[in-house]
Amino acid sequence: MSGLAVWAAPLLVAVLLAGGVYAAAVIDLATGRSVAGTGLGPSALLQPFRRAALTVVQRPSATERPDVVMWLLAPALYLGLAAAGLALVPLSPTFAIADVQAGIVVWGTIESLVIVAIFLHGWSANSLQPLLAAYRFLAVGVSYLLLSMFVLIAAAIPAESLATGQIVVSQHGLWNVVRQPLGLPLFLIVALGSATWGPLNVADGTDLAGGTTAEVSGMPLLMWRAARLAMLTSFAATVFLGGWQGPWLPGPLWVAVKTLLVLVVLAAAGHRFARVPTERFVTICWVVLLPLSFVDLAVAGVGAL
């Protein structure tokens, strides 16, 4: 698989990031309006730009003695991690922006650092509600992270490789979603957690007045919201839905189509399912979901014999 010229890679990542954030914003708006029972006119396509423009013209907030560096760094880190995740996605049989031999390991690292970014965002504001949100996210994050490890290892077993490109190739003729049926639902739970979205939106919930964002406005808020949407997008179709594979259409288009489908599922889950209380999620995660991820791993191991 070929790589990309050094100068072109950041440009392409930026384009993918912008496109992904926009697509996720529109899909979220559309699914939200579907649930709300309000119409979806053509103006919905411009809505993300209008909301972004308003956020940009608003002045960034200041709290008393925040950790300014960390407060600014957290959204940038979150967005950067989403960008790194997108860069790992193989777009065709011969092309990925970052063709890393241990792509799955890099992805696991990204998920771990997402927890750091979200915690820092809540902690550095020096304010109560963001701090409480950061603490409760930490409990959720540490729990779902274990699921991700086992699910990703299971996906790597049939490929006999940690490279995302090889994992896509190994799904020729039989996608992992069929071969490892537990994997995709568990992975989507990780996606909801990493983007702190819907039932797992424990970091930015209304019950804590916006959680880690309770004291944030202006450009930092825009970056944070964009990062959450980008993080949803980066959980693309690589690991379970065959990546670029599919008939008739070119590989990159298949990746886009599958990514949009995943986004629709995640956005719909966000609007249709209530936030899960932290303690209950942690219990469910350790008692039910984690054993299921062991089963997923065992199924993958037996299948590889």
Partner 1 sequence: MAIGILRRWAASAPVPVFIARGGGAGWRPVELAADPRVRLVPSPRHASVLLAAGRFPGPMGEALDRVHDQLPAPRAAVWWTADADAGRPAALQGASVVPGPDPVDRIVAAHRATVLGDAPSSPDVGADVPPNEFVGLGDNGHGGEGMMGGVPYGRPMAMTADDRDGLALDRLSVTLGPFLPGFTNGLQATVALQGGIVQELSLDVLDLGEGRSLDDLAGEAPTPWRTRLRWLSEALRVGGLDALAVRTARAARQGDEATSTVALVRRSGLLRSWSGIGALDGLDAASRLAGALDPSGPAPGGQADVPLDRLAASLVGSDWADVVVAICSFGFVAGENAHPRAVHR
Of the candidate spans 60-68, 112-120, 158-166, 294-302, the one that interacts with partner 1 by CB under 8 A turns out to be: 60-68
What distance in Å separates the CA atoms of residue 34 and residue 46, rounded to the nearest whole number? 17
How far apart are alpha carbons 177 and 286 in whole angstroms?
23
C-beta closer to partner 1: residue 94 or 283 = 283
End-to-end CA distance of the chain: 27
Q: Which of residues 273-292 bind partner 1 (CB under 8 A)?
A: 273-280
Shortest distance (Å) from residue 75 CB to partner 1 = 14
- Asked if residue 201 binds partner 1 (CB under 8 A), the reply is yes
State the minimum distance, in angstroms, from the CB of residue 18 to partner 1: 16
Kindly list the distances between the CA atom of residue 127 and the CA atoms of 72, 199, 210, 304, in Å, as whole numbers in the listed order: 15, 24, 12, 51
With beta carbons less than 8 A apart as the criterion, state whether 220 and 60 touch. Answer: yes
Q: Interface with partner 1 includes 272 (CB under 8 A)? A: yes
Residue from 141, 120, 139, 123 nearest 131 by CA: 123
Q: Does 160 bind partner 1 (CB under 8 A)?
A: no
> Considering beta carbons, is residue 137 or 175 the nearer one to partner 1?
137
Binder of partner 1 out of 45, 61, 95, 257 (CB under 8 A): 61
The answer to whether 148 and 235 have CB atoms below 8 angstroms apart is no
Q: Number of residues in contact with partner 1, rule: CB under 8 A?
A: 51
Dihedrals phi, psi of 95, to nearest 5 degrees: -145, 130
Q: How far apart are CA 202 and CA 142, in angstroms?
A: 13
Q: How far is the CB of 206 from partner 1 (least distance, A)?
A: 4
Q: Considering the complex, what minimum distance in angstroms separates the CB of residue 70 from partner 1?
A: 18
CB 84, CB 233: distance < 8 Å: no
- If one asks whether residue 172 binds partner 1 (CB under 8 A), the answer comes out as no
- 128 near partner 1, rule: CB under 8 A: yes
Q: How far is the CB of 176 from partner 1 (least distance, A)?
A: 27
x/- letters, 208..227, toward partner 1 (CB under 8 A): xxx--xxxxxx--x------
Closest approach, Cβ 226 to partner 1, in A, equals 15
CA distance 20 to 114: 18
Of positions 58, 94, 101, 109, contacts partner 1 by CB under 8 A:
58
| Cβ atoms of residues 100 and 164 within 8 Å | yes
205 counts as binding partner 1 under rule CB under 8 A = yes
Contacting range for partner 1; rule: CB under 8 A; set: 72-80, 150-158, 161-169, 266-274: 266-274
Q: Is the dihedral of CA 262, 265, 270, 275 positive or negative?
A: negative
Q: How far apart are CA 13 and CA 87, in angstroms?
A: 6
Nearer to partner 1, 51 or 95 (CB): 51
174: which DSSP letter? S
Q: Which of residues 24-53 bind partner 1 (CB under 8 A)?
A: 31-38, 47, 49-51, 53
**Residue with structure tokens 């990546």?**
243
Nearer to partner 1, 12 or 44 (CB): 44
Closest contact distance (angstroms) between CB of 281 and partner 1 is 10
75 within 8 A of 227, measured Cβ to Cβ: yes
Nearest alpha-carbon partner for 100 in 3, 238, 205: 3
143's tokens:
């729990």
Q: In the complex, which residues of this chain contact partner 1 (CB under 8 A)?
A: 31-38, 47, 49-51, 53-54, 56-61, 64, 128, 132, 135-136, 198-199, 201, 205-210, 213-218, 221, 271-280
